[in-house]
Structure 1
Amino acid sequence: MLTNNLTAFYDVMFGDVNSEAPMHKLEINTLQKVKVILNNPTMLGQQIPALPAMLVRLLNIIQDPDSDVSSFVEIIKQDPSFAMEVLKKANSATYHRGDKEILSLSRAVSFIGLAGLLRIATTLLMARVIPCKPIYYKMFGKQIWLHSVQCATLCELLADNNDENGFDGYFLGLIHDLGKIIIFDCLSNALAEELTSLPGTKVFKELMTEMSVDISYLIAVEWNLPNVYSEGLRQQKTANRSALAELLYKADKLSEVYLLMTKGIISEEECENILTTYSVDKDLWHEFTDIAVKIEENMS
């Protein structure tokens, strides 16, 4: 049984074979690539995907206290094909509970609220950042993105339950694993050069876990995201965290617990003990797990 929650994501991805063995050539090559990127701002800038322009505009509007619902709707309307994507998602089982189809963005707001509309728009825009190379998406990208959206959902629920900004919680959860995108892209390149064995040693997993947090923070800085997001990511490695950063930390750990439970790696009883340790309301957890199932269904 896998019990090291520090490397839970990597344990699910690669398994626990030979975990105590020294790092092999593939792992060493990948680690070297990631370290070079971390220590070279120019190379990091080349690796970081561009932030979608519409997302920049939406985030700017969110920070503007004088903005209203129409401001958000007008920005989304500027890209008709994207507006159609938003409406399609608004009509999915994850968001829409009614019988009538939602045919306009204004109608979408009345059904799912502005928060729901923003959640859909930012999720669709951030999905464009995930590399689409077949080997990458099949082996790593889909699982990273699924975990990110599920973590974002739980972080929003926790934020709402703790009188914090729900959208900030959601977006922070959505971007918290950006570092893994860079790391797994490097791993994909290494696999293309030498497909001998998948990485699985404990030391490799722990180093990747630690470095992915650093890279996520550096990406947020490179993107010039509002301080609430970049600081929320930076504080994942510190003992003193803001209220929102603490909620992200909890959401990340618990969404990984959910991943382990769905893979049969830990039992429901073990999961309940962890929820007690983190003082998570069971009704909130059940709400999250219901949504998490729908999120995965929509991605399959």
Structure 2
Amino acid sequence: MTPKLAAESQLDLSALFYSLLFASQQSTTTGIANNLERSVMQKIEQALSSPESIAENVLKLPSKILELDKKLADDSIETQELIQLIEQDPLLCVEVLKLCNSPAFKRADTDVSSIQQALVQVGRQQLRQFITTCLARELIDIKAIYFRRFGAEIWRHSMQVAFLASELARSEQRDRAFLLGLLHDVGKIAIFKLLVDAFYQAEPGEQPSSSLFKQVMTTKSLTLSALLARYWQLPEHFEASLTLLANSNIKPVDEMALLIWKANIISECSMLQQVDKLPQAALALLLAQVDLSEEEFIVLHQKLMQF
């Protein structure tokens, strides 16, 4: 694939990105699916016709996520009441404090050691994003060996897209953009879980390596994300934006969908750049697509490397 083709096609960029997730021993990939891939693709088609089965059995959205997000968005709720609400979940508190003190988000030289301190130091809006992130991360609950291999990169990409979408959005849209960015890849996470299950029945050494499978992961996962958003009864604009994004060959005109589309390309470019998998000519053309100068990309790339 030439750099020009890679740059001009969102599908091809995604195929490049998936080569990071599904490292193949083969020197080239083909359009012919192997038994493992055929098994997963069959399950994907079943999932698209019955998303409720995926939502209930494969990818259960934590019930607290929308309830707590709504309360955090309500300015009438007193700070102390919010703190007590968060502190009812000790594991959530630990994860939130880890995020506060991570290189990507740390604001001061001293560590944040309490939810109250976190509220003061990072603010209510940022804390809301941290809590949403920690709760959404429960969606990936995979045995460590498989998580290290695929899930960690998918999750890192989701976090990067959420961060970028929030950075690119108008101030009044930042929370909405962040949550949409965080959840836009739930379809990929569901497919990833189906893939993990399929590994148990796969032939030794069999890996997802065909270009066909990568294309399916690209197009079908966003359709599945939209269907899951509807089943979870997320606000209607979530499903609408995700449905528009599912047509990966068309640059969306809808403002929110366009934010996620841009953030997705920037994140994929950054992750590929980090492992020297994206030719400079392709990067330049892709940055032109998202109206970003190379200097602006470098600034964002440095931030994304901290995730």
Same fold, TM-score > 0.5, yes or no: yes
Task: Give unpaired runs (5+ residues) of structure 2.
Answer: 7-11
Deviation at 1:284, TM superposition (A): 4.8
Deviation of 1:157 (Å): 0.9
Of the three residues 110, 116, 119, the one matched with 2:129 is 119
Q: 2:61 aligns to what? A: 51
Aligned pair partner of 1:131 in 141, 151, 157: 141
The alignment's C-alpha RMSD in Å is: 2.5
Task: Report matched runs for 1:1-300 at 5 Å.
Answer: 3=6, 4-15=12-23, 17=26, 18-61=28-71, 64=74, 66-67=76-77, 69-70=79-80, 72-160=82-170, 163-194=171-202, 195-237=204-246, 241-268=253-280, 270-280=282-292, 284-295=296-307
Q: Aligned AA for 2:146?
A: Y
Deviation at residue 269 of structure 1 after TM alignment: 5.4
TM-score (norm 1): 0.86
Report the CA distance between 1:63 and its aligned residue: 5.7
> Does the CA-based 8 Å contact 1:136-1:185 persist in structure 2?
no
TM-score by length of 2: 0.85
> Is the alpha carbon distance of 1:274 and 1:69 closer, same or farther for their aligned partners in structure 2, counting shifts above 3 Å?
farther
Deviation at 1:26, TM superposition (A): 1.7
Residues of 2 paired with 1:167 and 1:103: CA distance?
24
What count of residue pairs does the alignment treat as equivalent? 293
Q: CA deviation at 1:259?
A: 1.6
Once the two structures are overlaid, the 10-residue window that deviates more, 18-27 or 245-254, is: 18-27
Distance in 2, Cα, partners of 1:166 & 1:151: 12
Q: CA 1:62–1:99 in 2, change beyond 3 Å: closer, same or farther?
A: closer
CA displacement at 1:235 relative to structure 2: 1.9
Shift of 1:79: 1.9
Query: Does the Cα contact within 8 Å between 1:122 and 1:171 map onto a contact in 2?
Result: yes
Tell me which moved more, 176-185 or 276-285. Answer: 276-285
Q: Are the counterparts in 1 of residues 177 and 260 from structure 2 also a CA contact under 8 Å?
A: yes
- Retained in 2: the 8 A contact 1:14–1:200? yes
Contact persistence 2:54–2:190 (CA under 8 A) = no
Aligned residue for 1:257, secondary structure, equals: helix
- Alpha-carbon distance change, 153 to 97 in structure 1, aligned in 2, over 3 angstroms: same
Decide which moves more: 233-242 or 246-255: 233-242
User: What fraction of aligned residue pairs are identical, expressed as a percent?
Assistant: 28
Q: Which moved more, 1:220-229 or 1:41-50?
A: 41-50
Give the corresponding residue for 2:9. none
State the Cα deviation string for residues 263-284 of structure 1 (Å, max 9, x = none): 2111455424422332125565
Q: CA deviation at 1:7?
A: 2.1
Aligned to 1:298: none
- Give SS of 2:139's match: coil
Q: Contact 2:140–2:151 at 8 Å: present in 1 too?
A: yes
Q: Which amino acid aligns with 2:274?
A: T
